[in-house]
């Protein structure tokens, strides 16, 4: 099968780039598929774009808000090549509030190419689909649900991982790893650290991600509140060996987002036996029921209360670690998820829906 991925492939862009990269790897290595990633920022003439896409059996689009996307779908239609979209949460309510008018106009003008002529839509979970249904009620007719997967290190014994834990008794060490963006909820989190300092509750926050305007703003907050000893900003990292070091140096992965589709970073943390502290908007099902971490709001006072409770229940930590690793191994295996994904692509190309994850 010859597959073209289209989207932002730069490491700094976030989750979609990582998703395309790992799917590319598995499809080529396990199935000998021919896969290519065409970056949305690539300069290519219309003539060359048409020639380029003509060799593919299917096009999977991971970028919505671009005129290049519309050109791509137009040429795909002319050539009879099926295409599908993965929206990665850009149709979620919070995301649509940003530049709301322009996005509304874009969807209205290009409704035919995006919504009507697409062969399929891929949603990462039911909650993402429910939010998208608010702007287009017919997604259900040609959509399938399949979560993001990650590579799992099944050769490492759980006991060996737990023995490397750096869980400290006095200070709670929190890790944020990802794009430093306003939707990630880092402002109330820094305000929580400010309250914690006032209450003499020992907590450290490590913010790891690429530089951005929002990152600069957060640094001014930290300087203003004199939190330099409690909040550290570290350069972005993308390779798993470096991530593993961070996972071992911290007690919890924290993501108080206002909006997420299906965070790969959260899954990687769990796979490396790092329990999570997340908002309900992260769409991780049964966090507390499965005992893999805790849920928080966006209110600094409430977050601090939860952190104090978490620290007071530190005797449960080893159990949380073990549950996290087991949960990840059971649910996030990229090999199983890619197999299901590839079956969906075969369905799309053949025009029949055999897979059981179609809506």
> In what order do the strands lie in the sheet containing 2-7?
34-39, 2-7, 58-61, 83-86, 120-123, 143-145
Average pLDDT over residues 276-289: 94
Res. 168 pLDDT band, cuts 50 70 90: low
pLDDT tens by residue, 16-55: 999 999 999 999 999 999 999 999 999 999 999 999 999 9
Name the residue among 153, 151, 179 with its Cα closest to residue 23.
151
Which is higher by pLDDT, 10 or 226? Answer: 226
pLDDT at 335 > cutoff 50 = yes
- Superfamily of chain region 158-331: Glycogen Phosphorylase B; (3.40.50.2000)
Res. 15 pLDDT band, cuts 50 70 90: confident
In contact, 304 and 169? CB cutoff 8 Å: no
Give me the pLDDT at residue 215, please. Answer: 97
Name the H helices within 169-263.
Answer: 186-198, 213-224, 240-249
In angstroms, the CA 23 to CA 29 distance is 10
Res. 167 pLDDT band, cuts 50 70 90: low
Residues 6+ apart with CB under 8 A from 262: 15, 88, 89, 124, 125, 128, 147, 148, 283
Question: What is the secondary structure of 125-173 as a DSSP string?
Answer: SHHHHHHHTTT-TTGGGGEEE----B---TTS-HHHHHHT----SS-EE
- % residues pLDDT > 90 (the chain): 92
- Domain range annotation of the chain: 2-149+333-350, 158-331
pTM score: 0.91
Name the residue among 231, 156, 223 with its Cα closest to residue 196.
231
- Superfamily of chain region 2-149+333-350: Glycogen Phosphorylase B; (3.40.50.2000)
Give me the pLDDT at residue 156, please. Answer: 52
Name the residue among 204, 252, 209 with its Cα closest to residue 232.
204
pLDDT tens by residue, 293-327: 999 999 999 999 999 999 999 899 999 999 999 99
In contact, 54 and 79? CB cutoff 8 Å: yes
In angstroms, the CA 271 to CA 265 distance is 10
In angstroms, the CA 149 to CA 81 distance is 26
Average pLDDT over residues 5-24: 91
DSSP-derived secondary structure letter, 107: H
User: Matching CATH topology for 2-149+333-350 and 158-331?
Assistant: yes
Question: Mean pLDDT across the chain, nearest whole number?
Answer: 94
Question: What is the secondary structure of 27-58 as a DSSP string?
Answer: HHHHH--EEEEEETT----HHHHHHHHTT-SE
- % residues pLDDT > 70 (the chain): 96
In contact, 303 and 192? CB cutoff 8 Å: yes
In contact, 114 and 71? CB cutoff 8 Å: no
Give me the pLDDT at residue 159, please. Answer: 46
């Amino acid at each position: 099968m010859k597959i073209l991925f289209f989207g932002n492939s730069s490491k700094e862009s976030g989750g979609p780039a990582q998703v395309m990269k790992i799917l590319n790897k598995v499809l080529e290595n396990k199935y000998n598929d021919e896969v290519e990633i065409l970056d949305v920022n690539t300069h290519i003439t219309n003539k060359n774009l048409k020639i380029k896409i003509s060799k593919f059996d299917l096009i999977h689009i991971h970028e919505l808000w671009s005129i290049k996307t519309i050109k791509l779908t137009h040429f795909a239609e002319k050539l009879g090549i099926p295409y599908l979209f993965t929206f990665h949460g850009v149709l979620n309510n919070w995301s649509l509030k940003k530049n709301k008018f322009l996005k509304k106009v874009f969807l209205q003008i290009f409704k035919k190419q995006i919504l009507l002529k697409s062969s399929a839509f891929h949603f990462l979970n039911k909650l993402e689909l429910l939010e998208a249904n608010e702007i287009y009620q017919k997604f259900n007719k040609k959509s399938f649900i399949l979560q993001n997967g990650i590579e799992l290190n099944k050769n490492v014994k759980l006991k060996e991982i737990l023995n490397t834990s750096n869980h400290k008794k006095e200070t709670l060490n929190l890790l944020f790893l990802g794009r430093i963006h306003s939707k990630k909820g880092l402002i109330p989190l820094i305000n929580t650290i400010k309250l914690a300092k006032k209450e003499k509750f020992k907590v450290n926050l490590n913010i790891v991600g690429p530089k951005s305007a929002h990152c600069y703003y957060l640094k001014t907050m930290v300087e203003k509140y004199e939190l330099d000893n409690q909040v550290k900003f570290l350069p972005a990292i993308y390779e798993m060996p470096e991530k593993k070091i961070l996972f071992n140096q911290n007690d919890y992965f924290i993501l108080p987002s206002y909006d997420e589709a299906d965070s790969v970073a959260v899954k990687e943390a769990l796979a490396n036996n790092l329990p999570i502290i997340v908002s309900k908007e992260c769409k991780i099902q049964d966090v507390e029921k499965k005992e893999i971490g805790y849920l928080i709001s966006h209110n600094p006072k409430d977050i601090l209360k939860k952190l104090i409770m978490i620290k007071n229940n530190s005797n449960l930590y080893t159990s949380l670690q073990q549950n996290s690793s087991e949960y990840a191994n059971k649910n996030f295996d990229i090999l199983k998820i890619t197999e299901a994904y590839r079956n969906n692509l075969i369905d799309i190309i053949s025009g029949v829906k055999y897979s059981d994850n179609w809506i």
